[in-house]
Structure 1
């Protein structure tokens, strides 16, 4: 990507643990803006879980893009997930909680983070990567589909009655 659209751009990097709370604040701010159009009980629980997810030590990589001396965008790259029985439910890495500050949108930052996740997944030997999105995120859904992400209904789940979270997978070949 050309940096002329984004002056002061530094490459995608892995965030240090001290930055995790700031990533949590950015992500809850971005996802919190969706609250008025979402099912209240499940979305409130989801927003609460975001902060916990982003600040608890785990195997996920927290990737960020800095602009103007602050974190302008972030994403989690999670390892394949196991179900309660230890069986792999999703054998591919998953990008989660992609967030771009409202004043930094339309600068290609989401694309940079997605590309970084895809590259890391390839380097780790995976031939696909996954993500989830919902009807509340039509812009994100369209962006993912333009980038070659295909519906993977086997990854869908329903956190609340009638609220479906759609699974997507992209081959990395």
Structure 2
């Protein structure tokens, strides 16, 4: 990614089917390869086509057009797993290529989720994150998300996910 003043502004786009392999590879690399998720979860992380039917997949591309970050925005249905009502949205599997982390891509993706949730009439955005994902937690807190410890959950034994929310 270029940092020159003449570089094109980063934008968030809807993922295309030809992005799915890269999104799956990147998500698996960051979560499983980075020690943030178990290898068993890797199958779900790579199943981008499956989640595309339950979530809006958003991407940010690098200067060469390659996916540099992605997130799955859940505006309806149960893929969010932590929404409690129809007026909540959620996002999952936020990922940024380690080579370009720290350049605002994660924040851009989160803000796009917030904008789309507002446009859909949602009153709150919720998310869950593993305790080990401290950089993500700092981002969420900086953007105004607060902890909802009463909604923390365990998808499998030994894994505790922390819940954060932002009222829109």
Report the TM-score, using the length of structure 2 for normalisation: 0.84
User: Is 2:143 the counterpart of 1:138?
Assistant: no
CA contact under 8 A between 1:34 and 1:136: conserved in structure 2? no
Aligned mates of 2:18, 2:100 — CA distance in 1: 22
Identify the match of residue 120 of structure 1 among 100, 116, 121: 116
Deviation at residue 5 of structure 1 after TM alignment: 7.3
Deviations 1:79-110 (A, max 9, x none): 24449xxxx73541111111111111111011
Identify the match of residue 58 of structure 2 among 49, 57, 63: 63
Deviation at residue 145 of structure 1 after TM alignment: 1.2
CA contact under 8 A between 1:129 and 1:171: conserved in structure 2? yes
In structure 2, the gaps of 5 or more residues are none
The number of equivalent residue pairs is 160
Q: What does residue 15 of structure 1 align with?
A: 15
Deviation at residue 155 of structure 1 after TM alignment: 3.3
User: Is 2:45 the counterpart of 1:50?
Assistant: yes
CA contact under 8 A between 2:75 and 2:117: conserved in structure 1? no
Report the TM-score, using the length of structure 1 for normalisation: 0.82
Pair 1:82–1:48, CA change in 2 (3 A)? closer
- Quick check: which one's helix share is greater? 1
Q: What does residue 161 of structure 2 align with?
A: 165
In structure 1, the gaps of 5 or more residues are none
Deviation at residue 6 of structure 1 after TM alignment: 9.2
Q: What does residue 27 of structure 2 align with?
A: 27
